[in-house]
Structure 1
Amino acid sequence: MFQSSFLFRILRLLLPICIISSIYLYLYPLFHLCGFPGVSSSNDNDNILQKIGQIASQNSRSTDRAPFRLLVFGDPQLEGDTSLPEPNSPWFPSLANAWEGVKRGHGHNNSTNVTVPTVKDTIFQLLRTDLPRLLKYSRKSLDLLGNDYYLAHIYRTLHWWSDPTHVTVLGDLLGSQWIDDDEFQRRSNRYWKRVFKDGSRVPDEVMNTPTREILGAASAWAKRIINIAGNHDIGYAGDITEERVSRFERFFGKVNWEVSFELHNGTNTTNPPPLIRLIVLNTMNLDTPALSPRLQTDTYSFINDAIIGSPPVESNTTLTLLLTHIPLHKQSGVCVDAPYFNFYGEEQGNGIKEQNHLSDYASKSLLEGVFGLSANPDSAAGGKGRRGIIFTGHDHEGCDVFHHLRSPSAIPQSGEDDSPVWHATRWRDRQRYRTEHSILAEDDRPGVREVTLRAMMGEFGGNAALVSAWFDNTTGIWKTELNKCALGVQHIWWVVHILDLIGVLVLISAIFVYSWERFIGAHTIKRMKSRKKKVKTKKQGSKKTE
């Protein structure tokens, strides 16, 4: 007989594993020392004691807390029906064909010379084709469901743990720009009702015209998701259509817009008050050729308006945050993805079919236009431009660089342009690069940091960035720091929940078997007592007879 003691022994082994793994999964930011950098942070975010201090003040009202805390995700890429094997086919086509053949054979469709599939053929097709396809379909459906909840777990856990003031997703919200409207709506509903549940779309009145708000005055921003358009959402320049942009904006918000936040915390003495300027830019059609000239003109016009509306470059009281999808141009070898362009044929307008980076010209326009950087030391603010930082997606591997000016060579070769060029250096290597090339620190020369965030998809580890920004009254400038946080591959989420499910089933089974054994044992004892009583009564009757 199967004993409950065996199940309880298994449970004693399994229960600690389930508890420890579940604690890790639901408190992983604590184990990874994830938190928004504090106001007292230095550039050395690898300092363990500093990170522990950040965690200690994470959910408090500590003065070390930055007033602007941006939680950043990149490239969730929700897949859907198009990734399922034959999603519109019946579950068992062979049975449907057999039944149709039977009906035709009996004259329901007035057909002649109809071959009715034999039972043997039907079973063969069922085992050879239908069941394998059904298993693949079920496995992929379960994978899509699990992926949604894996991404939802990352957002929910980090949002609860870190308490951000703002949240953004850097494009490729969905997995394909080629899906039809019904499938687009289904994936969009999953995005809002499952992955970013309790999140909300930024209201149209905020996006329609540049607005200015008081930082921290509207707590609703903590739940609003600032969505960036990616190539899998609306396409590249060569296949962006007004219909694709329109449906994206209907579900996720405008592709080009900006909002500013004034800092009023009672300690600032600047006039006007410090300002954070957040710019959402569609770089998908920034390069040419583009399928829709009107949409491209809209992007150019938005950039021009953003430049015109920018504060003077001499002002250090404004911090510009540029949120977009395609990374800026970088020379080969700096990031995993090198510059790459692919184009459609002439019959499709020669438009851009695929690109890894923006062109060097488009990147230069953003650096010198939006950020006001200049190679001319006699220009305003010495060419150092406006303080800011850029966040991009697209490159799933991620990259963190500092864009700066570099002279090609002291003595240019024949035919070589000796004008300064934009160059990208890995952020972690910037100190060594400054030493080797005798260049100035980034605070003293034209340059801006660009963070290309590693994807939050399971195969890339479920990544996020926690960005803090605060105004330093001592120096009179904005400062930004960030920490990165990763859960790990999606298999961790699956294994923990499978272990928990097994643990619950073993516990229920052990309780059931234990109760059954107690019931059987009590029933057996009762029968034995009844039998003994009958035997005793029989013996007593025999004695009286004698």
Structure 2
Amino acid sequence: MLRRHAPLSPSSKLTDYLLTTRTLQYIVVGLSYFVVVPLVIYTFYYPSFHSDICSWPSASRSPRDLRLLLFGDPQIRGADTSSSLRTRLDIFGNDHYLGHIYSTLLPRLHPSHVIVVGDLFSSQWISDEEFDLRTRRYKNRIFRHPSLDVTPAPVFLNLSGNHDIGYAHDVTDSRVRRFEKHFGQLNFVVTGDDFRIIGFNSMSLDGSLDDDEKGQASFTRDVRNFLDEQMKVNFRGTTILATHVPLHKQRGICIDQPYFTYYDEESEQLIREQNMISEETSQWLLNGFFGEGRAGHGVIINGHDHEGCLVRHTVVKGEPRWNVTAIATGDARYQYDYDNSDSSGVLEVTVRSVMGQFGGNVGLLQGTWNTSAQDYTFSFSLCRFGSQHIWWATYVIAIICACASVIAFIGLPFLDEKARRVFITGTMTPPILNSDIICHRSRHTIPVSPPTSGRQTPVDSFLSGGKTQKMD
């Protein structure tokens, strides 16, 4: 006996289809909303989520105030013809990750100065062509001005690092010339009414004055003569020393330990690598700029130690010698206030690296002018964006969700051919009947025995739309 299923009406089939499609669309939009939106909000407004360390602690807007954004060791890498696609993509993403941090903080904080404390690039051994290429990336991708005009524009200062010009024995005329061509003098001073920022080539500071093999002795003489001149200036304001290599500290104060290697280990003259300025040179700098007869106070800023460190140097009474005590180190979350009028100590800030593997850190150093004391009160905090994976996840997931939404709202209605005919013609093809007696060999033909009389069989009756027809 042939069993017949009741045909579904086109309207009910269309309703079921629309409900299914709309449900999928709602799921896609819901996932996009609850995943992408929080990531985008954090990525572009992360300083608001960390306002205690990503904003200036003082609301003072005196023209004398100092607001310094400090970037440590970006060390941007390069690619060549042998580099894989993954390496090139990673470099591209890293550039824009660093650029995002800068362009997010700049219009929000309106700094008076932006200082990159050395190691702009990852290697001093690169060719001049590669140096020019990385310089364009540095200026156009990373430290570019955002579309929102920032007025007044901050003073932008770049310090030289060992990966830019080399350590003492690796410094050459060609490396110095190409750096100074794009980023300014190795040794410089920026002055204001009540402050001065002194930047210098700390890699050559401990170099040998007898080393003339590559002319390194001239760089050592240059930096020492420059610093001698600045020490002799009768300046009564606040001095901010900006150096790439940190001052000397005993083992255990910071994560980096005192470390020197030499090309000639016996004479200890030709420096190959150093973690800190030598103890003797460090004492000379502290006495020369902050010792007896000087203003006696100021701030020292540097990089090189990627982990970061915050210390205070205090002079030993009656002696031309300074001790150092730790305040914070590593990625500790902190905001530190420093009374600059206290001549018994000098703050040294070693900025944790801005590289993604260290968390995308930016140092915020604010000097608030104290009218009654006629001096600055400083505060420092370390603003952290987070791993570069956050930046990658935001953009990758946003792209995936955007594509999924396009498919859900445009592509999904056309994936089912039957549903497509419903939308175009408004009709529905009847379903093929299942039979316990008849074996279907194809979708369109049903084998039946020839009729023995003029009366139509049940199958013939159904296929003809239910109308009885006379068969000859």
TM-score bracket, shorter-length normalisation: 0.7 to 0.9
- In the other structure, the counterpart of 1:78 is 76
Within 5 Å, give how 1:433-448 maps onto structure 2: 445-448=343-346
Within 5 Å, give how 1:117-196 maps onto structure 2: 137-196=84-143
User: d(CA) in 2 for partners of 1:525 and 1:257?
Assistant: 74
Q: Is 1:250 the equivalent of 2:169? A: no
Q: How far has the Cα of 1:469 moved from its partner?
A: 1.3
Mapped contact 2:28–2:401 kept (Cα < 8 A): no
- In the other structure, the counterpart of 1:449 is 347
Q: Is 1:512 the equivalent of 2:410? A: yes
Provide the identity percentage.
36
Give the letter aligned to residue 333 of structure 1.
G
User: d(CA) in 2 for partners of 1:531 and 1:229?
Assistant: 76
User: d(CA) in 2 for partners of 1:358 and 1:347?
Assistant: 19
Q: 1:385 to 1:88 in 2, by over 3 A?
A: same
- In the other structure, the counterpart of 1:227 is 158
- In the other structure, the counterpart of 1:397 is 307
SS of residue matched to 1:328? coil
Q: Is 1:422 the equivalent of 2:322? A: yes
Mapped contact 1:237–1:285 kept (Cα < 8 A): yes
Q: How far has the Cα of 1:406 moved from its partner?
A: 4.0
Aligned residues: 404
Within 5 Å, give how 1:25-174 maps onto structure 2: 25-33=43-51, 34-39=53-58, 63=61, 67-81=65-79, 87-89=80-82, 137-174=84-121
Write the deviation string for residues 4-52 of structure 1: whole angstroms up to 9, x where unpaired.
Answer: 643541331232111011100110011011444344xxxxxxxxxxxxx
2:30 paired residue among 1, 5, 12: 12
Within 5 Å, give how 1:355-504 maps onto structure 2: 355-371=274-290, 373-374=291-292, 380=293, 385-406=295-316, 421-427=321-327, 445-504=343-402
SS of residue matched to 1:282? coil
- In the other structure, the counterpart of 1:331 is 250
SS of residue matched to 1:423? strand
User: d(CA) in 2 for partners of 1:386 and 1:420?
Assistant: 12
User: d(CA) in 2 for partners of 1:164 and 1:442?
Assistant: 20
User: d(CA) in 1 for partners of 2:276 and 2:428?
Assistant: 87
User: d(CA) in 2 for partners of 1:359 and 1:391?
Assistant: 17
Q: TM-score, normalised by structure 2?
A: 0.77
Q: How far has the Cα of 1:385 moved from its partner?
A: 3.8
Q: How far has the Cα of 1:529 moved from its partner?
A: 4.8
Q: How far has the Cα of 1:351 moved from its partner?
A: 1.3
User: d(CA) in 1 for partners of 2:204 and 2:404?
Assistant: 56
User: d(CA) in 2 for partners of 1:236 and 1:244?
Assistant: 11
Q: Identify unmatched segments of 5+ residues in structure 2.
A: 1-16, 330-338, 431-463
Q: 1:238 to 1:6 in 2, by over 3 A?
A: same
CA-based RMSD of the aligned residues comes to 3.4
Within 5 Å, give how 1:246-395 maps onto structure 2: 246-262=177-193, 275-289=194-208, 292-311=216-235, 315=236, 318-345=237-264, 350-371=269-290, 373-374=291-292, 380=293, 385-395=295-305
Give the letter aligned to residue 308 of structure 1.
K
Q: 1:491 to 1:531 in 2, by over 3 A?
A: closer
Q: How far has the Cα of 1:518 moved from its partner?
A: 9.6
User: d(CA) in 2 for partners of 1:13 and 1:158?
Assistant: 30
Q: How far has the Cα of 1:260 moved from its partner?
A: 0.9
Q: How far has the Cα of 1:3 moved from its partner?
A: 5.0
Max radius of gyration: which structure?
Answer: 2
Q: TM-score, normalised by structure 1?
A: 0.67
User: d(CA) in 2 for partners of 1:246 and 1:526?
Assistant: 71
Give the letter aligned to residue 10 of structure 1.
V
Write the deviation string for residues 232-271 of structure 1: whole angstroms up to 9, x where unpaired.
Answer: 0000001101111110011111111112122xxxxxxxxx
Write the deviation string for residues 476-500 of structure 1: whole angstroms up to 9, x where unpaired.
Answer: 2222112220001111111121111
- In the other structure, the counterpart of 1:237 is 168
Give the letter aligned to residue 180 of structure 2.
E
Q: 1:393 to 1:321 in 2, by over 3 A?
A: same
Q: 1:526 to 1:303 in 2, by over 3 A?
A: closer
SS of residue matched to 2:192? strand
